[in-house]
A and B are shown apart, each in its own frame.
Chain A
Amino acid sequence: MSDRLTIAVDRIKCDGHGVCADLLPEMIELDEWGYPIVRPGAIAAAALPHARRAVSGCPTLALRLEAIAARR
């Protein structure tokens, strides 16, 4: 498993519930319409449990963890 992970958002699935920003404030803030803005760069190791909780807690299953190198 890569240690360089980020949060990827499926923008079509995302409905702006904002749960991710509550569970993973280290990486995610919301714009004024409630949609996530993901900070660039890898998730710090200490924040990974929060990131996993954000992914599984998203009501529309719009988040996933993704290896940074694999992003196109």
Chain B
Amino acid sequence: MTPALLSGPPPGNGMEGYAAHLQRLGPLPVGTPVLIDVVERSGLRGKGGAGFPAAIKWRAVASQRGGKPVVLANGGEGEPLSRKDRTLMEQRPHLIIDGALAAAGAIGAREIVLYVGAEHSDAIRAMEHAAGERPRSERGRLRVVSAPVRYVSGEETAAVHFINAGLALPTSIPPRPFERGVDGRPTLVQNVETLAHVGLIARFGDAWFRSLGAGDASGTTLVTVGGAVPQTAVIEVAHGTTVTDAVNAAGGLTAESDAVLLGGYFGGWVESSQAWGLVIDPEPLRTQGHSLGCGVIAVLPAGRCGVVETGRILAYLAHESARQCGPCTFGLRAISAATGRIAALTSSDGDLEHIQRWAGLLPGRGACKHPDGAAGLLGSALRVFADEFQSHERQRRCSAAAAVAVAS
């Protein structure tokens, strides 16, 4: 596969400067409403986790009348297992800025906010440097905002809330950001990788983008492959290739594996035997009950316990709850505590039964999707690690040799 986003200088070279970027890719065409149709035909979907078609979002923002729209490039990569957004921001900041400018042109926005997680200090430096390299007419429209270190900071209403009021906590919807966002204006919140794809689609067109995909699938995507591989790797894969292809591109397996965490903490566990053949493409994955999420493929090595890993992740998610909504504050805390007891072989009567029931009670009962994500992860664990949950709860036995985390 010819890389698209990550073509050009190798990763070791660091950030690609503006002159080199322009020399390699040529000038960025001016964004006009026609680009919305091009993006629609390209089949581009959001890369932040939800996989929503980009063009539908753009149209929704462009059709609002609440003032001049704003583009918010979302680089608040809170997912602990994902590295792809920060990698892209560090290496190809100009591609992201191009995409944001093109999107702004298409939807009639002027102001662009580059929202970058504070913990990604190299990414912030690269984005700031890149913004400073731009001609004055563009530079004046760009603003880098550093997002607080928190899982929910990258949630779109939390991002808007932080930029408006200094609080990176989700807000109730409606209004959604496309209706009222930054400064009360219609706001396009789009993941930085999605925008980087736009930077290329604006130049080379939708047919080019579609041709990058394998089979019926369209385009490429960044994935973070971790766990039982030589080292955590961010790679660009063609949509339509398989999980096996991605693992091999990351250097291949370093251990046997029974389960893969697909999509990160908001994704779900899949038996490895089933995971290897899954095609990396958000829609087909969704119809099979999986989620590509933000592109995390974490391979659990044999010898590590899926129940322990799940307990660890739920503890993290419970801790990261914004504690604004009751079901998330109390329900997720209870789920995390009970799963932790099961994992530690100290469960009390009914813990397993309780978490099975509570998993069904969380979805749709928060202002944001935090409880839904945690419930989905737990549901997948209860299916994939059903025997291990039983053995933990009934026999007080953990089959893992060493309970060391891939998910930490």
Spell out A's residues near B (CB within 8 Å).
9-16, 31, 33-35, 37, 72
Q: Are A11 and B330 in contact (CB under 8 A)?
A: no
Q: Assuming A14-B325, A33-B326, A34-B326, what are 11 further A-B pairs, CB within 8 angstroms? A: A11-B328, A11-B365, A11-B366, A11-B367, A12-B171, A13-B172, A35-B327, A35-B331, A35-B365, A37-B365, A72-B176
Interfacial chain A residues near B361, Cβ < 8 Å: 31, 37
Nearest chain A residue, comparing its CB with the CB of B327: A35
Interface size class of B (residues with CB under 8 A): 10 to 19
The distance from the CB of B157 to the nearest CB of chain A, in whole angstroms, is: 10
Contact flags (1/0) for B368-383 with A, using CB distance below 8 Å? Answer: 0000000000000000
Residues of B within 8 A of A (CB): 170-172, 176, 324-328, 330-331, 334, 361, 365-367
CA distance in complex: A72, B258 (Å):
37
Q: How far is the CA of A72 from the CA of B366 in the complex (A)?
A: 14
Across-interface contacts of A12 in B (CB, < 8 A): 170-172, 324-325, 367
Q: Which residue of B lies closest to A13 (CB)?
A: B172
Nearest-CB residue, chain A, relative to B366 = A11
Return chain A residues, CB-CB under 8 Å to B172: 10-13
Chain A residues closer than 8 Å to B326, beta-carbon distance = 11, 14-16, 33-35
> Are B324 and A31 neighbours in the complex by a CB distance under 8 Å?
no
The DSSP consensus for interface residues of chain B is loop
From A13, A15, A33, A72, contact of B327 by CB (8 A):
A33
CB distance from A19 to the nearest CB of B (A): 14
Q: Is the Cβ of B325 less than 8 Å from the Cβ of A11? A: yes
List, in ascending order, chain A residues with CB within 8 A of B327's CB. 11, 31, 33, 35
- A46–B326 CA distance with the chains assembled, in angstroms: 30
Q: Which B-chain residue is minimally distant from A16 (CB atoms)?
A: B326
- Measured between alpha carbons, how far is A49 from B302 in the docked complex, in Å? 58
Chain B residues within an 8 Å CB radius of A31: 327, 331, 361
Q: Contacts A11-B365, A12-B171, A12-B172 known; A35 to B324 CB distance under 8 Å?
A: no
Bound-complex Cα distance A33 to B362 (A): 12
CA distance A63 to B334 in the complex (A): 25
**Most chain B CB inside 10 Å of its own CB: which residue of A10, A33, A37:** A33
Distance from B333 Cβ to chain A, minimum over Cβ atoms (Å): 9
State the CA gap A34–B367 with chains docked (Å).
17
The answer to whether B367 and A33 touch across the interface, beta carbons within 8 angstroms, is: no
Interchain nearest-CB distance for A39 vs B (Å): 12
A34 to B325, CA, bound (A): 12
Name the residue of chain B whose CB is nearest to the CB of A11. Answer: B325
